[in-house]
Amino acid sequence: MEFSEICEYFDRIESMASRLEMTQILAQMLSKVPAQDMRHVIYLSQGALGPRHHSIEAGLGEGLIVQGIGKATGYQKEEILKMYKEVGDLGTVCQRLAGRKKQRALFSGKLTVEKVFSNFVKISQLSGSGSQDSKLRMFAELINSSGGTEAKYITRIPLGNMRLGIGDPTIMEALALNYTGEFLSDRKMRRKIAEELKEKFDDVPEGEVARKARQRLRAIIEGKYNIFSDLGEIARRLKENGLKGLDEISIQAGTPIRPTLAERLPSSKEIIEKLGKCEVQAKYDGLRVQCHKENGKVTIFSRQSENITPMFPDLVEAVKVQIKAQTAIFEGEALAFNEETEQYFPFQVTITRKRKYDVAQKAIELPLRLFAFDLMFANGENTMPLPFIERGRRLAQIIGKGDTIRIAKSIVTDDAKELEDFFLESIENGLEGIIAKDLNAPYIAGARKFAWIKLKRSYKGELNDSVDLTIIGYFRGRGKRAQFGLGGLLTAVYDEKSDTFRSVTKIGTGMSEQMLSELESKLSKIAKKQKPARVESDIIPDVWTEPKYVIEVVADEITRSPMHTAGAQKGSPGYALRFPRMIKFREKRAEESTSVAEIIEMHKKQGTRQVESPKDGPGAQGPQRI
DNA sequence: TATGACTGCCC
DNA sequence: ATTCTGC
DNA sequence: GCAGAATGGGCAGTCATA
């Protein structure tokens, strides 16, 4: 199939606001894709080169793509960057510049989907000395074989951001649309659906049957995707064998399951109102891991279904030893643990675990604990449909003796006060909060369905201090933020000793579109060509501003920072905010914003965290009590 | 050999 | 991760 | 309420270059 044909559909989808119409156009496109191109088309639509667990990455980010556009079009880096700041999308930049190329290129025949995909796979495989140049050459070659529309999408693909307005759910919906006919051609199924609808309608409209069938098929496709994690392959099987192509997809150790996500609520009371009696688990601040045991083989997947087994040789061993089942899939939160002090390390320490070199050595320095919290598969049985309470029982049964793997701490309650006490106890012990789980719910993969609800300290205003920060600059927006001329802020705390404003965080969320406009209009009036004299920041915004406006900001945590200058001294790092979000403008003078001293004080008060690590390394954080 | 820009992926 | 917005 | 697209700090690893 020609790549340009796909790009024409992409363009139509991108310009469409209506979800329903987008889905229809996508369905139409997919109906035209031959089986041998199907996986590629799906992956490219997702801005990817394969499912997450296959880890095929182009290795071309913004920086290299800017170079690549230069190579392809003959424009200077500066010109490209300037245009990027204005339009907010490198694909559009490439499309425009390729249209008025300085070097007239050889338009060498038509690009096929196969050609584009295989070139990106080749790009992804290049490594070692000189590889960046080779990648850029191949990228430029693709651009120079393209028309403008193709250039736009060829640019967006390696960046992983297609800006089409379609994600996995829309792709599944489109597939369901395309196979509803086949689904209903099964007489039994049609009759069954018609029967069910008779309860609602005296005279069942044909459209209703189709709609209900589509919903049911969507659920089937989603169910398969949830245990298979490869939408391209699902679409290919459908194309090749129709609905029976899905039959062979079943839960299997070694193939990641899309993890359940949690919703949020701001109080214990609301959680109980929503769930009634529920299990309340401690929420540990580490890495969420999905462990697969298949006889002697263990694979570990991340929350995004990446294969991260190489990071955890110790956990692999523990699964082999401690899990009393031939095959199993279970989930938990992995954290670094200090065996001497019996304390858990904060996330920033856990994440320093190595991925490739000196893995074993680091694993000894920072041993792990795994708090298991759910079970999806055991001894050949899919446990996902079982009620949570039963999965929990079985999980406890298969965890054998050992230090590494244990069950997450939890209580069962239908009382808001009890839940609140457990939450507060968790907070006091330095944990993130709690997750409440519906006792009767199955494992609902890949969805936020209020079966799991999280409550963190930062959701509760009375437990979480906000800070007042001075805006010292801003960044141009990308994508739909480009139209506002502002996509984020650079903010600072006030250092009384030196009368300077020192950067502490960028802010990119919490502001409405109206607020973005207001910010741009206010800040552009006090823009400065250079960094103002009283500002200390290693991060350079697109536009510096006079330190004047103060905003209220909420964050989950204060961390030591290698990038921000707030509180930084020679040889010791500064401070930053974790998960910052803007709340509102404050009517204050810049000098009245939160001070460096206050930030340091707030950092000290977080749990029992220390500034120095046990090894006295700079920037490291100490353990927290549990 | 050391450093910094860049990338991908954790939260 | 958090948050906002169109449907 | 769903789905999608904006945006955050900061880690290890890769590659180019001083």
**Which residues pair with residue A575 across a beta bridge?**
A560
Burial of A499 (0-12, 13-18, 19+ CB in 10 A): exposed
Indicate the CATH number of A261-456 among 3.40.309.10, 3.40.640.10, 3.30.470.30, 3.30.70.240.
Answer: 3.30.470.30
Choice among A283, A293, A409, A456 that is catalytic: A283
Please tell me whether residue A445 adopts helix, strand or coil conformation.
Answer: coil
- Indicate if the pLDDT at residue A622 is higher than 70: no
Q: Do domains A261-456 and A467-612 have the same CATH topology?
A: no
Question: What residue is closest to D6 (Cα–C1')?
Answer: A481
Q: Which residues contact A186 (CB under 8 A, 6 or more apart)?
A: none
Q: Which nucleotides of B are covered by protein (CB under 7 A)?
A: 5-11
pLDDT level of residue A49 (50, 70, 90 thresholds): very high
Q: For residue A274, indicate whether it is catalytic.
A: no
Q: Which residues contact A462 (CB under 8 A, 6 or more apart)?
A: none
**β A488-495/A466-475 pair status:** antiparallel
CA of A180 vs C1' of C3, distance in Å?
A: 36
Question: What residue is closest to B6 (Cα–C1')?
Answer: A63
pLDDT digits (tens, 9 = 90+) for A302-356: 999 999 999 999 999 999 999 999 999 999 999 999 888 888 999 999 999 999 9
CA of A539 vs C1' of D18, distance in Å?
A: 22
Indicate the CATH number of A467-612 among 3.30.200.20, 2.102.10.10, 1.10.1490.10, 2.40.50.140.
Answer: 2.40.50.140
What residues does each domain of chain A span?
3-159, 168-247, 261-456, 467-612
pLDDT digits (tens, 9 = 90+) for A118-174: 999 999 999 999 999 999 999 999 999 999 999 999 999 999 999 999 999 999 999
Q: Token pair 């031939």 is at which residue? A: A326
- Indicate if the pLDDT at residue A94 is higher than 60: yes
Q: Give the percent of chain A with pLDDT over 70.
A: 95
Query: Which residues of chain A between 443 and 462 are close to nucleic strand D, CB under 7 A?
Result: 447-449
Dihedral angle, C-alpha A143, A144, A145, A150, nearest 10 °: 30
Residues with CB under 7 A from strand C: A 17-20, 264, 288, 303, 456, 458, 509-514, 554, 556, 579, 581
Question: Quick one: fold of A3-159?
Answer: DNA ligase i, domain 1 (1.10.3260)
Task: State the Rg of chain A over Cα.
Answer: 27
Distance CA A107, CA A112 (A): 14
- Which nucleotide is at minimal CA–C1' distance from A581? C2
Tell me what the mean pLDDT of segment A361-386 comes to.
Answer: 97
Tell me what the mean pLDDT of segment A410-428 comes to.
Answer: 96
pLDDT digits (tens, 9 = 90+) for A483-529: 999 999 999 999 999 999 999 999 999 999 999 999 999 999 999 99
Nearest CA-CA partner of A558 in A489, A473, A457, A488:
A457
Q: Which nucleotides of D are covered by protein (CB under 7 A)?
A: 2-16
- Which nucleotide is at minimal CA–C1' distance from A57? B8
**Which residues pair with residue A377 across a beta bridge?**
A329, A382
